[in-house]
Structure formats: structure tokens, C-alpha cells
Amino acid sequence: MVGQPRSSHRYTPQVPDDESRLIARMLQVVEQFPRYGYRMVTNKLCQHGWSVNAKRLIDCGVART
């Protein structure tokens, strides 16, 4: 590799280990409040102690925009 640092070439992204628990919790919130959009679902998750932003919800496809 020309001009590419060795550390970049060997980088492996870390997947959060709480992803499945977060998706399960998001689905619970969406089932309980079906008319909530991604902003309200984000607020509900933050109220329950999750540190999550709206982009992560949209990427999972759980909350509607």
C-alpha cells in the first residue's frame, strides 16, 4: 500500500455489544407508542438511561421519520 498508514490498513471496526438490547428496547417503545417519530423515541430511550442519538435510530430503521 502506497501512502496508507499501517494502522489504517489493519483497522477493524468495533460493533457495540449492546446493539441487540438497544434494538429490543426501541421496538418496545415503538410498540407502546406507535405514533411517535424518531425524536420522541430518542427522548424516551434517553429517559430510560440509553445514550443514543437520532441518527442511530434512523439507521436501525425502527423509528419513522
Task: Give the cell for residue 40.
Answer: 420522541
Spatial contact of 36 and 57, defined as CB atoms under 8 Å apart: no
Instruction: Please tell me the predicted confidence (pLDDT) of residue 55.
Output: 80
Instruction: Please tell me the predicted confidence (pLDDT) of residue 62.
Output: 62
Domain extent listing, the chain: 36-65
12-48 confidence digits (pLDDT tens): 777 778 888 988 998 999 999 999 888 899 899 999 9
Q: To 10 degrees, what angle do helices 19-32 and 38-47 make?
A: 110
Instruction: Please tell me the predicted confidence (pLDDT) of residue 3.
Output: 76
Average confidence (pLDDT) over 56-60: 74
Tell me the longest C-alpha to C-alpha distance in the chain.
53
User: Using CA atoms, how far apart are residues 29 and 27, in angstroms rounded to an integer?
Assistant: 5
Helix (H/G/I), strand (E/B), else coil: 56: helix
Residue 1 has pLDDT above 70, yes or no: no
Average confidence (pLDDT) over 47-61: 81
